[in-house]
Structure 1
Amino acid sequence: MSGTPPNRKVTPLNRKKMSDKEQERLAIREQRRKRGLRRRLTVIGIVASIVVVFAGIGLISQYGMIQANNAEKIELQEQLEELEANENDLEREIMNYNDEEYITEVARKDYYMSKPGETLYQLPEDEDEDDDD
């Protein structure tokens, strides 16, 4: 009983050849796994690059819009200041027109009106004063 019986039709396997074939299969399987890993990493890298590019484009366009809005804001603030100054002038003018002394002064100066019994004389302006300027 030392060995295999002679009448069996089983051939003994060469373990060295079997292990070489197994190693070859394992090597092929490992190569396929690495190739698949490389492909997945490449696809992930491409997708990540595309996402970064689109995000960058979005940020750049947003930055441009922010700059345009800031410029418009500054322009509108300047207009607001001008309008507020104009409003103050108009309010002062309204207050003056409600004052009888101011109305009297304007009527006498611009329209040459006088009080009853009063005579107005218009004097020529000095030309000497104009030459000094």
Structure 2
Amino acid sequence: MSVLHKNNKVTKIQSSYVLEQERKEKKAMRRRRIAVVRFLLLTGFLLALSSILLYTLISQSANIEAQIKEKEKLEQQLKEFKKEEQHLKEEIKKLNDDEYIAELARKHYFLSKEGEIIFTVPEE
């Protein structure tokens, strides 16, 4: 019909039925356009929302991995500190013994018992 309209060889009938049909067609086209626009807007919104959620998921996953590594590092430090604590507790028990204190004094400060001679050996 539009091809004929361009050549102007056929004129339209201007009846109320034809006008009503054209008005219905325009209304249907407008509704389709509105539906397409709504669909595109909804699709854009959902795409943006899913992008935000995906970014959040990835960043939280990276944070969790970093925290797990930090936890493992801190657990290792805790083990080392517990070993050191045990060693220091043993050292405290030894320091309550008079013989151990005397041995330390002889060793570090070159103190001697009566009649004892101290020889120092050079370290290599």
Same fold (TM over 0.5): yes
Quote how far apart the aligned CAs of 1:47 are. Answer: 1.4
Specify the alignment match of 1:37 in structure 2: 35
Please give the alpha-carbon distance, in whole angstroms, between the structure 2 residues aligned to 1:92 and 1:28. 95
Quote how far apart the aligned CAs of 1:71 are. Answer: 0.8
Counting aligned pairs with the same residue, the percent is 32
CA displacement 1:59-93 (0-9 Å, x = unmatched): 21111111111111111111111011111101110
Specify the alignment match of 2:64 in structure 1: 66
Choose which of 53, 57, 66 in structure 1 pairs with 2:51.
Answer: 53
Q: Which amino acid aligns with 1:24?
A: E
> TM-score, normalising length from structure 2?
0.70
> What are the ranges of 5 or more consecutive residues in structure 1 without an aligned counterpart?
1-16, 123-133
Quote how far apart the aligned CAs of 1:108 are. Answer: 5.6
Please give the alpha-carbon distance, in whole angstroms, between the structure 1 residues aligned to 2:31 and 2:116. 116
Aligned pairs for 1:11-26 within 5 A? 17-26=15-24
> What are the ranges of 5 or more consecutive residues in structure 2 without an aligned counterpart?
1-14, 120-124
Please give the alpha-carbon distance, in whole angstroms, between the structure 2 residues aligned to 1:76 and 1:56. 30
> TM-score, normalising length from structure 1?
0.66
Aligned pairs for 1:74-113 within 5 A? 74-107=72-105, 111=110, 113=112
